[in-house]
Amino acid sequence: MNDALIERIQNNPKFKELLRKKSKLSWSLSIIMLAIYYGFILLVAFFPDVLAIPLSRGMVMTIGIPVGIFIIVIAFVLTGIYVRRANTEFDRLTHEIVEEARQ
């Protein structure tokens, strides 16, 4: 890419909108995941007995198993949310920005 094309892209209001939207989504999803993960770590550190409670009387499986599964599943869900937005809204905006810069 030449410098003039790069400058046109960077000065495009849609480019600034794209950066703002991507940044907002990335930080939001990161904060959600970090809160869940560190909440789990704090639970393990300060209240480990909570995770050792059986799901029901006589069961071997404890609350810790579904909580761990939830953390793994929510990571996939949050990744899916980002990928969906990236493949729809962000790709559309990127295409519009490139087309406008080439004109």
- In the chain (103 residues long), the average pLDDT of successive 10-residue segments reads 83 94 97 97 95 92 95 97 96 92 84
Instruction: Kindly report whether the global pTM for this prediction surpasses the value 0.75.
Output: yes
37: CB partners within 8 A, 6+ apart: 71
What is the predicted pLDDT for the residue at 102?
Answer: 84
What is the predicted pLDDT for the residue at 2?
Answer: 81
Q: What's the sign of the alpha-carbon dihedral 57, 59, 64, 68? A: negative
